[in-house]
Amino acid sequence: MRLRLWIFGFILIFTVAACDAIGLLPADEAAMSAGDADVVFVRAVESSSNTWTFHVTVAHPDTGWEDYADGWDVVLPDGTVILPDSSSDFTRLLLHPHENEQPFTRSQSGIVIPLDVNEVRVRAHDIVDGFGGKEVLVDLTQSTGTDFAVERAQ
């Protein structure tokens, strides 16, 4: 009986180690839960030369005030976060949980993107895990792409 338990334990440890080695298991517990606020769609609307409104759809398993998506950012290629309100932590601050509205879309106008920038990244944040969920790369020179739409001013 002990020999069978020992063999079972050895096989279990060997299997887990093999799965970890080939990338089937996360590296650590933090990797399993990090950044679960996902940007699922972005609609960027240019209102005038280099000024935009972003409509961002976020999915997050909000559970209430203890864990919810609390903001999203528009990030330039050099890593600069655009903050229409300099006192805000995010491009768009989200002030409450959306546990009964998933996914949800919130908009932010007055986003000034330099004329020489053709691509931005949109990311979401949650109060427990921070950034790290799905991001959307928006090519401002294209009318549509994977998970985004762009409307240029005429």
* 132 shares a domain with 92: yes
The sign of the CA dihedral 42, 43, 48, 52 is negative
Same domain, 20 and 43: no
The domain total for the chain is 2
65 plus 5 within the same structural domain: no
Q: pLDDT tens across 30-58, in order?
A: 433 456 899 999 999 999 888 999 999 99
Q: How many beta carbons lie within 10 A of that of residue 99, not counting itself?
A: 14
Are 108 and 131 in a shared domain? yes
Q: Domain span at residue 15?
A: 1-32
Radius of gyration of the chain (CA): 21
Query: Model pTM?
Result: 0.76
Same domain? 68 vs 127: yes
pLDDT at 15 over 60: no
Same domain, 132 and 67: yes
